[in-house]
Structure 1
Amino acid sequence: MAPQVGDIKWSISTGGEIWSSPIVGTNNTIFVSSTDGNLFALNSDGTVRWSYQTGGELFSTPAIGADGTVYVGDAKKKLFAISSSGKIKWTYYVGSDVHSSPAIAEDGTVYVGAWNGSLYAINGNGTLKWMYRTGANILSSSPAIGDDGTVYIGSWDGRLYAISPKGKILWSYLADSKIDTSPSLSDNGTLYFGSNKGTLYAIDSQDKGKLQWKYIIGSRIHSTPAVAKEGTVYVGAKDGKLYAINSDGKLAWTYDTGDIITSSASISTDGTIVIGSWNGNLYALNSNGSVKWERALKSSIIGSPIIGLEDTVYVGCTDWKLYAIGKK
């Protein structure tokens, strides 16, 4: 479900801006990273369970392994593995800034992209399995992992790469410009991603990246596409609009927030779409594009909201705060 009202249940101040997205782990623990270098683990009431100082700015959204280990990269060229109790397990020196968020395969391999243009595969013990270098920088495109273990990631060379679990390139798809978005992989194998020129692509991951369709928005896409159960794709753009694209690539509707959207949409089980904007507003939209509610948080929302237990939405802002939104 999604919250039926947009009340502020609580907020907590970190020591820096929040550019990343929070995640919810076991026992409803909320993890969020901050540009002051702290990774926070919070209880569901907003109290701090623990925090870990990495020493570098954190733009990366944390990822949680099957054993509760939390992985996050920082702007001082390191990937961290932190236990569920907040103790450091290991660090891996990537050698380049990490803004991309890690992704974890079923075998425990941690994949992460770095500013030097490389995709790293790190074993669960913190040793390097392999590295694949793309043709340009990787900023915020984070890996997506297919059921067969194939890893997909975008690069500033304009290519979306499909890399085997052994680090070999399977294929790549050349878009019209740099790729900052993370690819989204649907249940039917379609990969969705956007380009900096504002084109949304749908390609077939099972057919060497064959183009299924593309929709030209014409404004930079930094938002990762979100795919609803019935196949509608939701993506935000620099022009401030959220676009709803049908599964055949036709526009269903748009909603104009009036300011830049880098946030990716979260879709609740009842189809409610929740998204943030640089204008500081958090929006809950019905599947037809009408507004269910909106909440002014008065500071830019750069990262994405997530929907947790008890229909609560968690979202970070540039005012150094993480907010819990729902029914008080």
Structure 2
Amino acid sequence: MKIFKIFLALIVFSGTFLGCSTDDKDAPIVVIATPLVEFSYAPSEVRAGQEVSFNGRFLTGSSVITSWVWNFGDEAQSTVATQNATFTFPAEGVYTVSLTASDKLEASTTVTQEITVLEPVADPFEASVVWSFSTENVVPNYNDGSSSPAIAEDGTIYYLEAYAAAESRMIAVTDNGTTPTKVWEYVPGYNIRNAPAIGPDGHIYIGIWALDAVSKVNAADGTQLWLGTTGTGISNSTAAIDASGNVYIGTRNQGIISFDANGAERWKFQEVTGTGYYGSPVLSVDGATLYAIKTNGLVYAINAADGTSKWTENIAFEDNATGTSLALNSDGTVYYTTDAGVTAITDNGTTGSVKWSTEVAGANNSGIVIGLDGNLYVGGSAGLAAINPETGDVVWHYEATVNESVPAVDSEGNVYVGTSDGKLIVVNALGELLKQLNLTSGEVNSPTIADDGTVYIEGYNGSTITLFKITTNKSEGPADSFWPMKGKNKRNTSFSI
């Protein structure tokens, strides 16, 4: 990403210019601010026929800007009158791109930069929004980082309008190709704070925050099949589900609870010390072990059959781990995130040990996914990071504002992640930007990749939640890796059913 800045001096008028005597030391000084702006563009290597994203920003000390106008320097002198814009250069060459910013006093500043456009690539990556859907129900806040759509085998998409107390709802949508259709809404009357998960029988499980319960919802009509209470304090943990339909979910103060497919409690794992289990638990490859983390840094391996402890690894940290989504590698390595970074835990059978820990600022509300090359990907406050799975070293970093999104990797190794300023970003395995889609004005959550490569993702515009369908010319499905997206698969179960 390239950034070009201009700094203009403030215009200062002293008493001399206002008709006051030069001897009048108390003469007023009037400072008039002018527009101070910069602009950046991505990707930094621009090619003909490739969409380029331009972002305008005002600088500290700038007057209030009321107008932004871009000129892209092509023969048609194409212009766009928005703060952020996209443009596709028609041919290779050198283009002078300018951004003119004006304030309410009609003072203006123009910044320019010459951009060298290279020849087009032979087979460029393309992505576009096919449709967007919203019920237009007003919610006071965005879905948090645990939220991602779940996709059933028949293609039905289940997503949330969450974080809205009694207005929270889970919505079922069918994809008709170029248009969506709402099938039903499930409105429990309480806050929902976690992504839905789909069991082997096709029905949906969702935790209900204020009701302290997990609900099984009929996939056909959205009616409640059963409600399993957890005592007090269910968390925003997405349920893990095994091949028999057994459900495992974390709570704020009742430990980890397992229910069978009929709603009967199988067991409760609860330790006296520590705080809640906000991170979504995950199941081992054979389904025999459940991994969970407390917000105080205790990582547990639990026997999935009876809820007894297999081992506890005490990871001492002071960083927030309330939003983490645990993930697992094929060798049994467990990953979790905190405000400060990512930690890898090795399951040694009867004990657990730290394999490595690496700094990734603000990784707490994201989670680890695995690419085709084995590299790990995680979002953070500074952007998207690629991590070496053996050493924990950061391989590359793509600058963005990622606060509430777990990435997803497609069949070609491309990585998708949502940003807090309304974008879906797609980069390749080298960290090079392939596409940036401007979806909305606020948080964009975790993408889910369907079997045919279609991407579904939720976004917030300050008042409503919208579900987007995005298609590309490259992806044929999720990556053939052990953990390509949040919850491991399109059903959000953390286990291959």
1:169 aligns with 2:309: yes
Contact 1:105 1:149 in 2 (8 A): no
Determine which structure has more spread, i.e. the larger CA radius of gyration.
2
AA partner of residue 198 (structure 2) = I
Alignment of 1:26-175 (within 5 A): 26-35=153-162, 36-45=167-176, 46-76=180-210, 77-85=212-220, 86-94=222-230, 95-116=232-253, 118-134=255-271, 135-138=273-276, 140-146=278-284, 147-165=286-304, 166-175=306-315
2: CA distance, partners of 1:90 / 1:8: 37
Contact 1:116 1:136 in 2 (8 A): no
In structure 2, the CA distance between the partners of 1:138 and 1:277, relative to structure 1 (3 Å rule), is farther
Cα offset for 1:271?
0.4
Cα offset for 1:160?
1.5
Cα offset for 1:43?
0.6
1: CA distance, partners of 2:441 / 2:248: 32
- Aligned residue for 2:268, secondary structure, equals strand
Instruction: State the aligned residue count.
Output: 323
1:193 aligns with 2:336: yes
2: CA distance, partners of 1:206 / 1:6: 43
**How many percent identity over aligned positions?**
27
Q: Deviations over 1:242-298 (max 9, x none)?
A: 1101122222100111x2423111011110100011111111110000011011123
1: CA distance, partners of 2:393 / 2:252: 34
AA partner of residue 39 (structure 1) = M
In structure 2, the CA distance between the partners of 1:240 and 1:280, relative to structure 1 (3 Å rule), is farther
Question: Could you list the runs of 5+ residues in structure 2 that have no partner in the other structure?
Answer: 1-123, 474-497
Cross-structure match for 2:408: 266
2: CA distance, partners of 1:302 / 1:129: 36
AA partner of residue 187 (structure 1) = S
Question: Could you list the runs of 5+ residues in structure 1 that have no partner in the other structure?
Answer: none
- Aligned residue for 2:365, secondary structure, equals coil
Q: Deviations over 1:98-152 (max 9, x none)?
A: 3111110122210011122511111111111111124444364101001242111
In structure 2, the CA distance between the partners of 1:288 and 1:117, relative to structure 1 (3 Å rule), is farther
In structure 2, the CA distance between the partners of 1:139 and 1:301, relative to structure 1 (3 Å rule), is farther
In structure 2, the CA distance between the partners of 1:151 and 1:70, relative to structure 1 (3 Å rule), is same
2: CA distance, partners of 1:315 / 1:148: 28
Contact 1:153 1:160 in 2 (8 A): yes
Further displaced range: 3-12 or 76-85: 3-12
Runs of 4+ in 1 over 6 A off after TM superposition: none
In structure 2, the CA distance between the partners of 1:40 and 1:145, relative to structure 1 (3 Å rule), is same
Cα offset for 1:24?
0.8
2: CA distance, partners of 1:240 / 1:139: 26
Cα offset for 1:218?
4.3
- Cα RMSD after superposing both structures: 2.0
Contact 1:143 1:183 in 2 (8 A): yes
- Aligned residue for 1:304, secondary structure, equals coil
- Aligned residue for 1:61, secondary structure, equals coil
**TM (normalized to structure 1)?**
0.92
Cross-structure match for 2:421: 279
Q: Deviations over 1:165-202 (max 9, x none)?
A: 21111112223234231221111111111223x13111
1: CA distance, partners of 2:418 / 2:183: 26
Cross-structure match for 1:11: 132
1: CA distance, partners of 2:440 / 2:173: 23
In structure 2, the CA distance between the partners of 1:27 and 1:295, relative to structure 1 (3 Å rule), is same
- Aligned residue for 1:27, secondary structure, equals coil
- Between the two structures, name the one with larger relative contact order (CA 8 Å, sep ≥ 6): 1
Cross-structure match for 2:373: 230
Contact 2:157 2:173 in 1 (8 A): yes
Cα offset for 1:88?
1.5
- Aligned residue for 1:317, secondary structure, equals strand
AA partner of residue 186 (structure 1) = N
Cα offset for 1:93?
1.8
Q: Deviations over 1:67-100 (max 9, x none)?
A: 1010001222221101221222101122224311
AA partner of residue 172 (structure 1) = T
AA partner of residue 141 (structure 1) = G
Cross-structure match for 2:357: 214
AA partner of residue 311 (structure 2) = W
